[in-house]
Structure 1
Amino acid sequence: MDTHRLTVVQCALDPARAAAFWSGLLALPGGGRGATEVPGDERRPTLRFVPGSPAGREHDGFHLHVLTADEDDLRATVDLVLRTGGRHLDVGRRPDERHVVLADPEGYPFCVLPPGGTFLAGSGRLAEVTCDGHRATGLFWSAALDRPLVWDRDGETAVETAPEGGTKISWGGPPVAAPPATAAKWLELVVDDPAAERERLLAAGAGALPDVADGTVRLTDPDGFVLRVSRAP
């Protein structure tokens, strides 16, 4: 089977600034693809930022979770976000909720999580890509990534990036909002043979869309959110 490497792609008015923000937040080296990428590894997806407008796309399919080591780390992480161009978001959290909801410099929401619990144990600082999607979409991505479900309860599903753990990719179950007409962020599989992968994913339940000019394959998952398949460099 083809090697599947997951990339999280977000449109940005300033891709280099967005990459630098996330590189600093995750304490990871940046510089990939002309300083617009935070390279991943076998336990963590790549983050890539491409030119485009994020305006009005805050809830476009998924958002990221950053896990902290302790309460001091949580406070320091929030302070770092605010110093480097992020801001607080008011989403009506309950008083007992300890996570902090923030927006990056492009306006995309993400959560900074306190330590505790077992679900994200061993996930790393980029702990989770949490997506909109029914169980059928979780099952689809389990097949797409060739990774078993590590969570399957009450319509919620999740996989791990690598057999030994790493970033989790999760789908929250119903209710699922309709995807926007134009995607400003998407999940992308990087593979050796995009044409063959396209056929495999169509057979697994993907929907077809016209490919882009550079040959990158565009599809939709079972809930209608855009995904892409590109060729490994």
Structure 2
Amino acid sequence: MTSRLAAVTYDALDPERLTAFWDALVPSAEHQVALRFVAGTPPAPGTRTLHLHLTSESAEHQRATVDQALALGGSHLDVGQRPDEGHVVLADPEGNAFCVIEPGNSYLAGTGFLGEVACDGSRAVGVFWSEALGWPLVWDEDGETAVQSPHGGTKVAWGGGPETAKLGRNPQRFTIGADEAEVERLLGLGATRLSEHELADPDGNEVELVPPS
């Protein structure tokens, strides 16, 4: 058995508002990673460890996605991007970053609208999740990794680079469906147990456990 990626879960001050924002902007689709929002405390600076990449079919589609996000309560976000970069960096109503990628991006071709969950993390954690989910590594270069379901859909990627000290509990985390036998397998792959309902991956990121389905 392998784990099932049930959702990427976000702590939120107003879960209903964020759910409405993301449901309107990114309707559910087959093989697309689900997004889940639960009540939580405001994230400490530096604890957001992932952001999303939305794809575009054309320049008009990209502009329409940006306009819709702003109309729903999103905002532009300055992360030091250059004026000549084709993607647009935005934030949802609670400051969670996401990028609307320009059309013609070959790396995200065929992934669907929610093209990528881009995470901070080591190569080791990318390999761990490949084995945990049974998703092949579709990128593995210079310490950067990405996995994708054999059926296609959203990629999940880790940017590699130098590791930094964990600053606190992550307000964004993976929620997986796994029974106790699967939990034991994950522990053998390098996870650690934090509680009955939570593990940590090899980089120390919290992983929420729910019953398999």
Give the TM-score range, shorter chain: over 0.9
1:129 aligns with 117
Report the secondary structure of 1:9's partner residue: strand
Q: Unpaired segments of 5 or more residues in structure 1?
A: 29-39
**Cα pair 1:57 1:184 within 8 Å, conserved:** no
CA deviation digits over 1:122-163, x for unaligned, max 9?
100010001111110100000111111011011011111x21
1:12 aligns with 12
Of the three residues 144, 154, 157, the one matched with 2:142 is 154
1:6 to partner: Cα distance:
3.3
1:182 to partner: Cα distance:
1.9
User: Following the alignment from structure 2 to structure 1, what is the Cα–Cα distance between the partners of residues 105 and 76?
Assistant: 24
1:181 aligns with 168
2:32 aligns with 44
Q: TM-score, normalised by structure 1?
A: 0.85
User: Following the alignment from structure 1 to structure 2, what is the Cα–Cα distance between the partners of residues 59 and 72?
Assistant: 34
Equivalent positions of 1:40-119 (< 5 A) are: 41=30, 43-56=31-44, 59-119=47-107
Report the secondary structure of 1:119's partner residue: helix
Of the three residues 204, 207, 210, the one matched with 1:227 is 207
1:117 to partner: Cα distance:
2.7
CA deviation digits over 1:35-57, x for unaligned, max 9?
xxxxx64x112111000123435
Q: Which runs of 4+ in 1 moved over 4 A?
A: none
Query: 1:176–1:65: structure 2 CA closer, same or farther, 3 Å change rule?
Result: farther
1:32 aligns with none
Of the three residues 135, 139, 158, the one matched with 1:171 is 158
Q: Unpaired segments of 5 or more residues in structure 2?
A: none
Query: 1:134–1:5: structure 2 CA closer, same or farther, 3 Å change rule?
Result: closer
Q: TM-score, normalised by structure 2?
A: 0.93
User: Following the alignment from structure 1 to structure 2, what is the Cα–Cα distance between the partners of residues 166 and 188?
Assistant: 18
Query: 1:205–1:3: structure 2 CA closer, same or farther, 3 Å change rule?
Result: closer
Over aligned residues, Cα RMSD in angstroms? Answer: 1.7
1:181 to partner: Cα distance:
1.6
1:196 aligns with 181
User: Following the alignment from structure 2 to structure 1, what is the Cα–Cα distance between the partners of residues 65 and 163?
Assistant: 30
Report the secondary structure of 1:209's partner residue: strand
**Cα pair 1:60 1:179 within 8 Å, conserved:** no
User: Following the alignment from structure 1 to structure 2, what is the Cα–Cα distance between the partners of residues 72 and 54?
Assistant: 35
User: Following the alignment from structure 2 to structure 1, what is the Cα–Cα distance between the partners of residues 207 and 170?
Assistant: 9
